[in-house]
Structure 1
């Protein structure tokens, strides 16, 4: 569960609202050469055949204003003249006459489908569309772009019974075996692709995309994990940076354990803020939630669907409403029902998070997420090392600590390809100013990471903008100061003073 929370896409919150619930890579991303080499003309001169978007198994076809196409990119950027794969793209053309170019979006994950997400979120970008073609894509290994699928629906549902915070030797064995089986399924499904879905690979894809779209510079809006992708792109291609906005920022200085600690801290902070809003003492409220999870661990709750609410599903259901303050009442209702012995509402929230529909079909975001993250991440603690870390995690968060702690051992356990780096390189000397947006109450990418990203991008490059608010992502949440500042930067090139605060 925990890594789903780790660098999640904003589409998780969208799923909740829609459901109506009450190294084979060409660069290691750290010390490798910058991405300024020549790319094959057969790729840079390709013409995109934009046409009507088709429905997929996991997403209906968007309306008539949307067009879709396929971009050819090298499977292996170390062999750019070799085998190619196709990336699914989607766009809505600019509505005004004073067009700047294309504005690329990545909504996070890693593993989120931009082809599905952009039409859903596009009403928030109507002003930006006046001067930009809105463009997104499914990164390599995601959905329609050679998407990874590691388990079938029945196997996914069966795995929900595995305890991801094991208390006994038998539970620990089952947890690690489940992780190993997942890795094996990914390898069987994806083969050679497994070594070529890194963030560095996708950053190189972005620069090819820029050229094929006919843009001199890359204009980009990255959210959540998309901020890491944007930082890596800026490091590799500083000379091609146009107007980049990074919102809900991943801390580029944190490794696997550091990210897990950050998120335990961020979700606990969000839970405390939620508890305060209900008039309770945060410490007492957290203790009640932790006690509820302990009871569910010992005795899963019944639900109206006939499935049981396990502890893992319960904590997933609790995490989801913390992504957006507007859904806090949903959490109140679900926790009240669970205290009364009914797990139906928390299960519905968990199902939304896990992309499970009414027929029992699951989406594949988490599969792609693991393939990308485990190719990126070199740091892989053992179970023994994780056990030593658990007291610290539990001190950081009595509710979420153990989940994030154990995730450090299980997520990339027995992964068939090595990770590329401890932390991503995002320094971008010489790049144009990049707008870095942090939210003080962000649960999934805590606020402190935004300042670190701005610092790592470099003096004169990273420009910090703060929103004193709640939730994962600031833009489009109704704060006029924040939205107008971002719009002025993207539409008119007006760079705000570093450290500007909107409340």
Structure 2
């Protein structure tokens, strides 16, 4: 799951008014969130239609940053699969052909990077950029990316004016008193209203199940009989839902950094679990910074590094750094360190400059770029889709007392992300459309073995999710990267992991049992 704390913390959100009767609630399902006969009929109609039409491939627009020979196209899908002949929306897709011979080609490999709200359109650049980790797989597969419904180049949604959304500084996500909590609750409710006002016609249909149906239609449009899929983070939940709805149409599936698919976890409890895991990985990073104090001079013990963090937060709270960086912006920047090992050194380097007296270096790294209109639109859209999908997928608590109790309790021991995470998700407490029920992810007839990859100390998708999905998907195999915590294992150089991913995608080979791999190399300062 994608976390962008600075975007979800208090800020100037556009208030909206829900017009009575403007948003139709979807029909309730008695099939555990998997949809019913009407959805099944609708997706079959849409897939047959897409197979007949195909995709009109062309060079991607120059300003998309997708170089030749990557090609782009669109596929139309129903907004509501209960009404396949009703309103349609557009899904944008891109591809690059396999680099091997025609005889080596095994089809298209579809990719979802996570989110909800992430764009997959840059996936083919792993070929144009000659990424060595994917060189063998690229010989056999076309690499296919897409923007899911609501995202970016597809029919997008929005909840607030993008320039207002990124405006800095935002309030400290950690409340000092009840007045702070009331202010955050008001902002969250206004954000939910803004989503209804700006995108209400799509909100009831912004579910993972519908995105899985869209993926099924994309597969048909590309002429693929079965799906080959790589999903990372939220993409693992999308993969699990696809495997539940269309088990007989899966050929190969790799899921990396796993969202816990339990209906008791999606999505409220999953976010609380994140808070605990983020604190663990935050502590890992502080220990690394302390061990490299000769380079960074922030503190030679984790306790001293934490003290510097609290000092930095306090200074930004008293007076935003450079007039634009407050505690919320700091949390958004620093969270990338527990998220990805690749951020350990860059974040520490910026912080080190600040400790040495260079405030501007930190401001330049953290502050939003108000002139980056396109980037701000992407950021606002990504947050809107994140919120819309998680709010629609499952039922959320509506009683503030439960949110307050759970997050107050967690914050005592896991303060790094808890309140920032709570405010980001709180719009779901006052969401305007029907919520859930969540899909009951499980194996179905014809589902082949799925390869699950997980880092043991992942912050964004805690390790329990990988074990839960492994239990639910019969015949799956789990590769665990021991004592590692970077999010997105398949993109990191680790021969123990990389070779098994290659073997599975190229030949379908799975180990006889689950595998534990040594961690990848620790970042160097």
Equivalent residue, structure 1, for 2:277: 266
Structure 2 CA distance, aligned partners of 1:160 and 1:360? Answer: 20
Equivalent residue, structure 2, for 1:112: 118
* 1:17-68 C-alpha deviation (Å, 9 max, x unpaired): xxxxxx4379676354487543244333222100010145xxx331111000
Judge conservation of contact 2:45–2:84 (CA < 8 Å) in 1.
Answer: yes
Quote how far apart the aligned CAs of 1:341 are: 6.7
Quote how far apart the aligned CAs of 1:128 are: 1.4
Equivalent residue, structure 1, for 2:13: none
What SS does structure 1 have at the residue aligned with 2:74? Answer: strand
Equivalent residue, structure 1, for 2:163: 154
1:206 aligned to which of 215, 221, 224: 215
2:230 aligned to which of 221, 224, 228: 221
Structure 1 CA distance, aligned partners of 2:468 and 2:434? Answer: 26
Equivalent residue, structure 2, for 1:18: none
Structure 2 CA distance, aligned partners of 1:216 and 1:163? Answer: 51
What SS does structure 2 have at the residue aligned with 1:114? Answer: coil
Work out the number of aligned pairs and report it.
475
* 1:67-104 C-alpha deviation (Å, 9 max, x unpaired): 00101111111111222111100000112121111100
Map 1:54-203 → 2, pairs under 5 A = 54-55=61-62, 60-97=64-101, 98-116=104-122, 118-119=124-125, 123-124=130-131, 125-158=134-167, 160-203=169-212
What SS does structure 2 have at the residue aligned with 1:134? Answer: strand
Equivalent residue, structure 1, for 2:468: 452
* 1:394-425 C-alpha deviation (Å, 9 max, x unpaired): 244132233234445x242432212213x442
What SS does structure 2 have at the residue aligned with 1:219? Answer: strand
Equivalent residue, structure 1, for 2:15: none
Judge conservation of contact 1:286–1:398 (CA < 8 Å) in 2.
Answer: no
Quote how far apart the aligned CAs of 1:152 are: 2.0
What SS does structure 1 have at the residue aligned with 2:144? Answer: strand
What SS does structure 2 have at the residue aligned with 1:268? Answer: helix
Structure 2 CA distance, aligned partners of 1:334 and 1:256? Answer: 34
Distance 1:159 1:192, change over 3 A: farther
Equivalent residue, structure 2, for 1:30: 33
Quote how far apart the aligned CAs of 1:482 are: 0.5
Quote how far apart the aligned CAs of 1:343 are: 5.2
1:479 aligned to which of 494, 497, 501: 494
Quote how far apart the aligned CAs of 1:392 are: 2.6
Say what the alpha-carbon RMSD is for the aligned residues.
2.8
Structure 1 CA distance, aligned partners of 2:150 and 2:169? Answer: 24
Structure 2: runs of 5 or more not aligned: 9-24, 292-299, 519-525
* 1:195-217 C-alpha deviation (Å, 9 max, x unpaired): 11210001011111112211121
* 1:419-456 C-alpha deviation (Å, 9 max, x unpaired): 213x4421013310011101123221122211111112
1:293 aligns with 2:296: no
Structure 1 CA distance, aligned partners of 2:207 and 2:500? Answer: 32
* 1:452-485 C-alpha deviation (Å, 9 max, x unpaired): 111122x32x211111223111113110110010
Structure 1 CA distance, aligned partners of 2:251 and 2:374? Answer: 43
Judge conservation of contact 2:455–2:485 (CA < 8 Å) in 1.
Answer: yes
* 1:229-259 C-alpha deviation (Å, 9 max, x unpaired): 0000000011111100000111112133321
Structure 1: runs of 5 or more not aligned: 9-22
* 1:375-398 C-alpha deviation (Å, 9 max, x unpaired): 113113543222212343124413
1:312 aligns with 2:328: yes
Structure 1 CA distance, aligned partners of 2:312 and 2:399? Answer: 29
1:402 aligned to which of 409, 419, 426: 419
Judge conservation of contact 1:159–1:178 (CA < 8 Å) in 2.
Answer: no
Give the TM-score taking structure 2 as reference length: 0.83
Judge conservation of contact 2:4–2:332 (CA < 8 Å) in 1.
Answer: no
Q: Greater shift after overlay, 365-374 or 199-208? A: 365-374
Q: Greater shift after overlay, 340-349 or 317-326? A: 340-349
What SS does structure 1 have at the residue aligned with 2:390? Answer: helix
Quote how far apart the aligned CAs of 1:372 are: 1.6
Judge conservation of contact 1:286–1:399 (CA < 8 Å) in 2.
Answer: no
Equivalent residue, structure 2, for 1:385: 402
What SS does structure 2 have at the residue aligned with 1:332? Answer: helix
Structure 1 CA distance, aligned partners of 2:358 and 2:430? Answer: 37
Judge conservation of contact 1:26–1:78 (CA < 8 Å) in 2.
Answer: no
Judge conservation of contact 1:438–1:450 (CA < 8 Å) in 2.
Answer: yes
Structure 1 CA distance, aligned partners of 2:472 and 2:412? Answer: 29
